[in-house]
Chain A
Amino acid sequence: MSFKDEDEVARYIGGIFQEAFKDEELGPTLADTGLVVSFRYTEPDAVLTVDMGNHQVYQGERDDVDPSATMYMKAETANAYWQGAVNLPFAIARGKVTVEGNVASLLKLAPLGSKLFSVYTGMLERDGRQDLLVDK
């Protein structure tokens, strides 16, 4: 199962960053990285650009922000990733995730990401989105 459209992707995947920005530990840490990461999804097509430094998530194509890295994947891969069910190096090796730009910067974010897995599943459960929960 995956998301219906870009709005849903923004609501959940974008939402996870909004949650992280509010967190008193993660918020400042993410801001300090100053990273801008663009996520380009397929099935459904969706684009999110996350500006960590300014705590902003943009939906849709933007030509006024300059990402330091761009990640390409199916939306369902992102959904599984945020539930802790995707190992990034394996996914890249399998071609399920493609990264353009500074991979090193993304690796630095990885440990922060894992702190958000339970937040994400909590969000899905709260909205009754059992259809999006993956088996691990």
Chain B
Amino acid sequence: MVATGEQRTYSSVSVSPLSFWATTAEEREESFRLLREHDPVSWQVPLEGSLMPPQQQGIWAVVRHEDIVYVSKNPEIFSSAQGVQQEEVPGDILAAAESFLGMDAPEHSRLRRLVSAAFTPKQVAKIEDQIKNQAEQIVDDLLATGDCDFVEQVSKRLPMWTIYEMMGLDPAKRETAAAAADGMVSWADEDVAAGREPGQVLNESLVTLLSTGMEFAEHRRKNPANDLMTNLVQAEIDGEKLTDEEIGAFFVLLSVAGNDTTRNTITLTMKALCDFPEQRDLLLEDFEGRIDTAIEEFVRWVTPVMTFRRTVTQDTELRGRQISAGEWVVMFYSSGNRDESVFADPHRFDVTRRPNPHVAFGGGGPHFCLGNMLAKTQLRAIFDQLLHRAPKLEVGEPSYLVGNFVRGVKSMPCRLG
């Protein structure tokens, strides 16, 4: 047994209250910088949530790049099976919403393998061309519309279109599914809740996505087509197939993981390119040659997924802090991506930054973002179109979502110039 007598005083730099998450990323970074320097594995009041009273006395906040990688790569100690969000969420909801994101080996490996088998190279190659066409269409529409809300008109459209097109989902069901995916990550935001209780927003969103996913799986069993859902219902490894429930939960995961992440990266990258016009010019000087490097900087800069949690399976030690079995460890990717010991001049947006070992897609290990290639393909296609065809595009102030999970932008005005 590790001594449980260690003084558990809460860190003087708190990252828990929702008011902290209502400040800007730049303001929050000031706290993370202090923590990285003075208290890299800090004991914090449980992150303020709104679903259920916290059952934990506190959480361990891991803010350094190196430690995020360590936690990510040691899943036997830092388990995902009891949920990966910072908030206490009823177990039933976890089981239905997190799919293999909230599992450990061997269940995680089995499901991830089955799903990866459905992402065949043929499927991905097919979608690449379609993404380019779709990006072109979106910018056609933007040019025709003129000044507008960039999120609604541009950022929202490509990620939603991409995953549901890959899936093969009936276009008539896509808006509803995407709105439900939003509800899954934004129940803490008053605008989104519109008077409903957070738990109600979450439950309604979840049930909508589950039933859409399960009905669609049933439909594809009977009417196979050339899409990801057909591959999923047919995928088989060692005689094992996915159940409709497993597919339903995966549909939820894909809808959530594939929508907001890429959307917010597009939005806030556009803002960065406007804020730092010399970087925009630099990229445009040799778009083909620089875009792949630049994309890594886009995701580091934005870090749309700010936090993920693990639960410790055995007493362990991290930077001299004694962590007991059952306690929660939260990785702050936003902080890891500004770690001055890894990134030279971390507060500089530099489209030529190399190397760029950011943790925006996770710190490595078994849960590393399954959709990272797809996300990069989308980013390449949309910025190719935007920067070349709307060269004078400028954006105004974003209106941010309040929450401790996804760094979200609700709206951002744009002018075509």
A residues apposed to B, CB below 8 Å:
87-90, 92-94, 102-105, 107-108, 110-111, 114
Contacts and interface: CB of A to CB of B under 8 A. Distances in A.
A97 B90 CA distance: 17
11 contacts: A89-B93, A89-B203, A89-B207, A90-B248, A93-B248, A103-B199, A103-B203, A104-B197, A104-B199, A104-B203, A111-B52
B87 to A, nearest CB: 12
Contact of A103 (B52, B91, B97, B200): B200
A87 B200 contact: no
| Interface bracket on B | 20 to 34
A66 to B, nearest CB: 18
B51 interface: yes
A107 B200 CA distance: 9
Contacts of B204: 103
The main secondary structure of chain B at its interface with chain A is helix
Given A87-B95, A89-B97, A93-B248, A111 B199 contact: no
Contacts of B199: 103-105, 107-108
Most buried by A among B92, B95, B202, B210: B92
Nearest to B213: A93
B279 interface: no
Contacts of B197: 102, 104-105
Contacts of B51: 104, 107-108
Contacts of A104: 51, 196-200, 203
B52 A89 contact: no
B211 interface: yes
Contacts of A108: 51-52, 90, 199
Nearest to A108: B52
B360 to A, nearest CB: 29
Given A89-B97, A107-B199, 5 more contacts: A93-B210, A108-B199, A110-B92, A111-B52, A111-B91
Nearest to B201: A104
Contacts of A111: 52, 55, 90-91
A89 B92 CA distance: 7
A90 B90 CA distance: 13
Nearest to B209: A93
A110 B204 CA distance: 16
Nearest to A114: B91
A89 B200 contact: no
Contacts of B292: none
Interface in B64-88: none
Nearest to A107: B199
